[in-house]
Amino acid sequence: MSAYLLNRVGQALFVLWAAFTISFVLLQAMPGDAILIKFQNPDLGLTAQQVAEIRASYAADSPVFVQYAHTIGKFLTGNFGYSVQAGVPVSSLLAAHLPATLKLATLGFLLASVLAILIAFLSSLTPFASLRGALQSVPSLFISIPTFWLGIMLIQIFSFRLKLVPVINPGPWQELILPVITLAVPISAPLAQVLVRHIDDVMTRPFVGVARAKGANRQWILWRHVAKNALLPTLTIAGVLFGELIAGAVVTETVFGLNGIGGLTERAVGSQDAAVLQAIVVLSALAFVIINLIVDLLFPVLDPRLRTKIGAAA
C-alpha cells in the first residue's frame, strides 16, 4: 500500500515538473529581454532600480537553462515573477483574484452536480419513455451550447427582458446567480452523460437481475444497488471536469465582468502577460494533480474490490 502511495506521489510530482517545463518552454523561453523590455515602458511607472530588481529576479542576463533553474527555484518558494501589465508580483495578483473564482467555481460545480444527478436518476426512474428520452437528450444539448453565448443569452433574457436580475449594482449574491448557472450548464453535461451511461450499464448487469428476483422494486434497486456502482467510475472524470471548470470560469468571468482568476487570465493573454499565464497554468496543473491523487487514494476506500483481501478465498 505504501509503495503504491509513493509511486503515485512520485508520478504526480513528475507530471507537475513536466507541466512546469512545458509552460516554461511555451511562455518564457523567448529571448529574455523581449519580456523585460515591456517593464521599461514608462506607463508602468517603475523606477530604474525596480526594473533592475525585476531583471535580476528573472536572471535575464543568463543563458536559458540558468533562467530555467532559477525560475523553478522561485516557483518552489511561491515567487511567480512579475506581471508585465500591472508591474506587481504575480503572487499578489493571484491572491487578490482567487477568492472570487473559488466562490464561483464551488457554487457552479455544486449546481452542476445537482443538475446531473437529477437528470440521470430521474431519467432512469421515470416510467414514461418519452420523458426519459427528453431528459437524456438534455446533456447533449447542454454540451453543444457555447458557454459565453449562454451567459449573454441569460443576461439578455433575465436582465433585459424579464428584468429579474439587475445588471447595475447587484447584491453580492445576486451578481452570482447568472454566472453560476452559466458555469454549471457545461459542467453538468459530461457529468450527466457519464452517469446515465453508467446507470444504464449497471442496470444490465446480472446482479441487478438477482436483486429483481429477490422482489426488489425499481427504486430499491436504483438506490441500493445501482447508485454506488454507477457513481464510482464517475469519480474518474473529476480531473477532466476540473479542466472544464477552469475554461468555464475564464469565459464566464469575461462575460459577466467578474474579477477572478478567469478574468485575470483573459487580460493576461490580451496583453501577452506570459508570467501571469504561466503561474496560472502551473497552479492549475497542481490542482489537477492533487484532485487525481485524491481520487486515486479515495478509490480503495470506496471500492471493496481494491482493498487488500481479508481472508483466504478458497
Among residue numbers 214 through 253, which ones bind other proteins (CB under 8 A)?
214-218, 220, 224-225, 228-229, 232, 239, 242-244, 246-247, 250-251
Residue pair 286/31 in contact by the 8 Å Cβ criterion: no
By beta-carbon proximity to other proteins, the closer residue of 60 and 143 is 143
Question: Binding to other proteins (CB under 8 A): which residues in 153-182?
Answer: 153, 155-156, 160
By beta-carbon proximity to other proteins, the closer residue of 76 and 313 is 313
In the complex, minimum distance from the CB of residue 53 to other proteins, in angstroms, rounded to a whole number: 24
Q: Does 19 bind other proteins (CB under 8 A)?
A: yes
By beta-carbon proximity to other proteins, the closer residue of 49 and 161 is 161
Q: Does 270 bind other proteins (CB under 8 A)?
A: yes
Identify the CA nearest to 104 among candidates 300, 278, 259, 306.
Answer: 259
CA angle 290, 247, 256 (to 5 degrees): 125
- How many angstroms separate the CA atoms of 75 and 249, rounded? 24
Question: Binding to other proteins (CB under 8 A): which residues in 94-113?
Answer: none
Of the residues 162, 168, 301, 314, which one makes contact with other proteins according to CB under 8 A: 314
In the complex, minimum distance from the CB of residue 254 to other proteins, in angstroms, rounded to a whole number: 6
Q: Does 272 bind other proteins (CB under 8 A)?
A: yes
Residue pair 307/100 in contact by the 8 Å Cβ criterion: no
Q: Does 93 bind other proteins (CB under 8 A)?
A: no
Q: Which three cell numbers stand for residue 257?
A: 465582468
Total of chain residues touching other proteins, rule CB under 8 A: 76
By beta-carbon proximity to other proteins, the closer residue of 76 and 301 is 301
- How many angstroms separate the CA atoms of 4 and 152, rounded? 47
In the complex, minimum distance from the CB of residue 163 to other proteins, in angstroms, rounded to a whole number: 11
In the complex, minimum distance from the CB of residue 278 to other proteins, in angstroms, rounded to a whole number: 8
By beta-carbon proximity to other proteins, the closer residue of 173 and 207 is 207
Identify the CA nearest to 138 among candidates 159, 123, 158, 155.
Answer: 123
- How many angstroms separate the CA atoms of 54 and 75, rounded? 15
By beta-carbon proximity to other proteins, the closer residue of 165 and 232 is 232
Altogether, the residues listed in the chain come to a count of 314
Q: Does 141 bind other proteins (CB under 8 A)?
A: yes
Q: Does 281 bind other proteins (CB under 8 A)?
A: yes
Residue pair 252/147 in contact by the 8 Å Cβ criterion: yes
Q: Does 147 bind other proteins (CB under 8 A)?
A: yes
Of the residues 37, 210, 294, 297, which one makes contact with other proteins according to CB under 8 A: 210
DSSP of 272-288? T-HHHHHHHHHHHHHHH
Helices and strands (H and E) in the chain: how many: 14, 0
In the complex, minimum distance from the CB of residue 314 to other proteins, in angstroms, rounded to a whole number: 7
- How many angstroms separate the CA atoms of 177 and 23, rounded? 34
Q: Which three cell numbers stand for residue 3?
A: 509503495
